[in-house]
Amino acid sequence: MIALALLVGSFSFAQKSELRDAEKAIKKSNFAEAKTAINAAESLIGNADDKLKAEFYLLKGQALYANGAGSGADMDTAIESLNMVEKVEGSNGKHSKDVQDLKDLMLTSFLTKANASLEKKDYAASSSGFEKAYRMSTKDTLYLYYAAATAVNDEDYDNALRHYEELKNLGFVGIETEYVAISKETEEEENFPSKNLMDISVKAGTHIKPSTKKSESKQAEIVKNVALIYMSQGNNEKAIAAMKDARAANPDDATLIISEANMQLKMGNRDEFKKLIEEALVTDPENPELLFNLGIVSAEGGNIEAAKDYYEQALKIKPDYTDVHNNMAVLILSQEQDIIEKMNALGSSAADNKKYDELKAERSKLYGQAVPYLETTLKLRPTDVQAAKTLVNIYSALGETAKMKDMKAKLEALEKGQ
């Protein structure tokens, strides 16, 4: 028993000696030496009491963080070590303030680096930084959302999916309170990170009309991305299941219906796509995007009149919808091929010549119907080379020489600018 006591005593002395060495090295910012001392004490810490364990994990966190110079793996372990301090001694232990101070410092460092990386479009580093910020402060689930979103930008779909699934399990919705006020200088609404900063700006006289509002839910976006990631991995069943679950929880969310429709379209399920878009249109009948998509599906299915009707409805709601004007012109001109084939099949008899002239007039009528849509497309999208080329050809076919020359000059200028 005496020998055992001496043995335990020697272990405890060795641990304390290593921890004192680590503490001294940290104070001198000699983090390599501190890590060596921590590693030496690690194998013995399992037999230590809670007081010594808490001190060990605090020093380990400080050594690995290394005033912000630690590697990514060291940072992850530092976070785990600091969380162990609270686990060992509770939330109001002897080291609670030191742990919280270091956590605050680390959180600020992680967010600063994550935002800086985001500005440089280094999405991998940004995602890693936001994830570390979340692990540092798990109540701030928005950081985990940012980690997922930047992972998507980096096309790191495995990590993005991992973060999204974690958000889903946490019940994350992403609705935030936004603090806004009108800038006197720009007369535009500006966002503030907190109510306090908004109030200070209003009191200083730089802003007026302070207010708060709720941001939109991020749930639809998350589910859509999860489904698209599953699709990219070739797991269409999981993609559909993820979307169905979200729809069941939010049956009236038109955004989710549209997301599922687009997913079905990517899978090649055009009938299901059309069915879902029509369903969304019932929920949101004044949505020109839905009508535009129904027009596309109808056109691809060969239903010209239905496509025209959808496009016309879309233009009534949004007259400056460039893509609809362009697609309407394409739709009208798509009927030309049938006329050309009939013209080419004719012989040289008087009756055939008469029929040829009738078909030529029919083709010219099509050209005349397409021209206003093409002209509007070019007006709304002045750099559209294809629209300009088509107009040159149509003006030439219709014998409108002046318009043809004018458009040809515009086309040459566009092609030089490319």
Separation between Cα atoms, residue 332 and residue 369, nearest integer Å: 7
Number of domains the chain contains: 4
Do 157 and 186 lie in one domain? The reply is no
pLDDT at 13: 43
Domain membership of residue 321 (yes or no) is no
Do 20 and 138 lie in one domain? The reply is yes
Do 18 and 155 lie in one domain? The reply is yes
Supply 313's token pair: 């409805």
Do 21 and 50 lie in one domain? The reply is yes
Separation between Cα atoms, residue 258 and residue 263, nearest integer Å: 9
pLDDT at 15: 55
Domain membership of residue 19 (yes or no) is yes
Separation between Cα atoms, residue 248 and residue 170, nearest integer Å: 18
Supply 406's token pair: 């004018």
SS3 378: helix
Do 134 and 11 lie in one domain? The reply is yes
Domain membership of residue 319 (yes or no) is no
Supply 328's token pair: 């309407």
Q: Please, are residues 157 and 232 in contact by the beta-carbon 8 Å criterion?
A: yes
Supply 322's token pair: 């460039």
φ, ψ of residue 120 in degrees (nearest 5): -85, 0
Max CA distance (Å), the chain: 126
Q: Please, are residues 34 and 59 in contact by the beta-carbon 8 Å criterion?
A: yes
Separation between Cα atoms, residue 119 and residue 136, nearest integer Å: 22
Domain membership of residue 316 (yes or no) is no
Domain membership of residue 43 (yes or no) is yes
The count of C-alpha atoms lying within 13 angstroms of the C-alpha of 78, restricted to the half-sphere facing its C-beta, is: 29
What CATH code is carried by the domain that includes residue 284?
1.25.40.10
Do 43 and 74 lie in one domain? The reply is yes
Residue keyed to tokens 């699934």: 165
Do 284 and 398 lie in one domain? The reply is no
Angle value at C-alpha 27, between 21 and 31, nearest 5 degrees: 70
Do 74 and 150 lie in one domain? The reply is yes
Residue keyed to tokens 């699709």: 231
φ, ψ of residue 213 in degrees (nearest 5): -150, 165
φ, ψ of residue 208 in degrees (nearest 5): -135, 170
- Domain span at residue 288 reads 220-310
Q: Cα separations (Å) of 219 from 165, 168, 226? A: 12, 9, 11
Burial class (CB in 10 A: 0-12, 13-18, 19+), 137: middle
How would you classify the pairing of strands 189-192 and 207-214? Answer: unpaired
pLDDT at 63: 86
pLDDT per 10-residue tile (average), the chain, 418 residues: 42 61 81 81 72 82 82 84 82 81 84 90 93 87 92 92 90 82 87 80 89 81 82 83 77 76 81 85 86 87 89 94 94 91 89 90 92 94 92 92 93 82
Q: Cα separations (Å) of 72 from 66, 98, 223, 303? A: 12, 22, 29, 57
Do 210 and 298 lie in one domain? The reply is no
pLDDT at 139: 86
What CATH code is carried by the domain that includes residue 18?
1.25.40
pTM above 0.95, yes or no: no
Do 200 and 238 lie in one domain? The reply is no
Number of helices (H), then strands (E), belonging to the chain: the values are 20, 3
Separation between Cα atoms, residue 260 and residue 243, nearest integer Å: 6
Do 157 and 97 lie in one domain? The reply is yes
Domain membership of residue 324 (yes or no) is no
Do 69 and 161 lie in one domain? The reply is yes
Q: Which residues contact 214 (CB under 8 A, 6 or more apart)?
A: 175, 176, 177, 178
